[in-house]
Amino acid sequence: MERKFKIYILRDNEELGLFASKKAGEILEKYTNQLNKKCLCVFAAAPSQDTFLENLSKNKNIKWENIYAFHLDEYTDLPIGHPNTFQEYLRTHIFEKVNIPEENIFYMKEAGNSPDEIIENYTKAFMEKYKEIKNDGGIYLSFIGIGVNGHIAFNEPETDLWTDEIIVKIRIDNISVKQQYEDYKNHPNPKARYKSLDDVPRNALTMTVSAILLSDKIFCMVPGKQKANAVKQTIDGDITNKVPSSFLRLHENVSLFLDQESAYLLLKKPENKIKKEQ
């Protein structure tokens, strides 16, 4: 199968979000509106997705009642309603802004009272909707990002990336904990700001790499210079569980949206001897 790993390098985060939402919107318009087919969409919840979701929510040609929405991951250490849950992020950044029926939105923390119960029920709901849309000629899309350490969803380095499960428990590593702290330290809602690294949750549930690679198309939005090394390893490094995002190269249809900062190491010119001696 021909690989279609497309890389788009935009000027900045604003341009990235606008362009990525245009590309994603074209697919969603085609299936939900023109073809009147159901779509299964999974969404990442992180500041890196802000501009993408903001622009996607403005697209009036998407028939949101034909979309089943799931999210990629969720903390098990935070209660429903906490401003730092990914449920709350997606609710405020996309689902409240579009005409999607409540029954079409599937939140992890509402699927059960314990991690094991959530895994069982969320997996069942996901597989039911996946089979429904595939039997009806619909499409499965993943909207994701890449972490500083190369994680996708909360699939951390050195975890079992070859599992065939749909949802698994995960222990968040120290680099991701620091990233979460930095992401929220200037949050406009003071209740969302972690007081210290010790306050950042360590336990989560995540959709697995195999569940993401099941997608028909993957849209990956990665702005910011802090992501440059992860991007470089994703594109140019080995496919390894040390860099979970490198597994995206195993998929036949990935669109990677970067800004100048996250693409810095891809665009960096090699040193030459004359320059070094000057």
- Segments making up each domain of the chain, as ranges: 4-277
d(CA 103, CA 181): 32
- pLDDT in the model for residue 96: 97
- pLDDT in the model for residue 181: 79
d(CA 68, CA 64): 8
- pLDDT in the model for residue 198: 80
- pLDDT in the model for residue 175: 78
- Pseudo-torsion of CA 152, 180, 78, 245, nearest 10°? 10
Domain 4-277 has CATH 3.40.50.1360: yes
- pLDDT in the model for residue 276: 57
Cβ atoms of residues 130 and 123 within 8 Å: no
Instruction: Tell me the sheet residues that pair with 203.
Output: 171
Each residue's pLDDT, cut to its tens digit, for the chain (278 residues) gives 344 689 999 999 999 999 999 999 999 999 999 999 999 999 999 999 999 999 999 999 999 999 999 999 999 998 899 888 999 999 999 999 999 999 999 999 999 999 999 999 999 999 999 999 999 999 999 999 999 999 999 999 988 999 999 999 999 888 777 777 787 777 777 777 778 888 788 899 999 999 999 999 999 999 999 999 999 999 999 999 999 999 999 999 999 999 999 999 998 767 766 655 55
- pLDDT in the model for residue 5: 82
d(CA 101, CA 252): 31
- pLDDT in the model for residue 3: 47
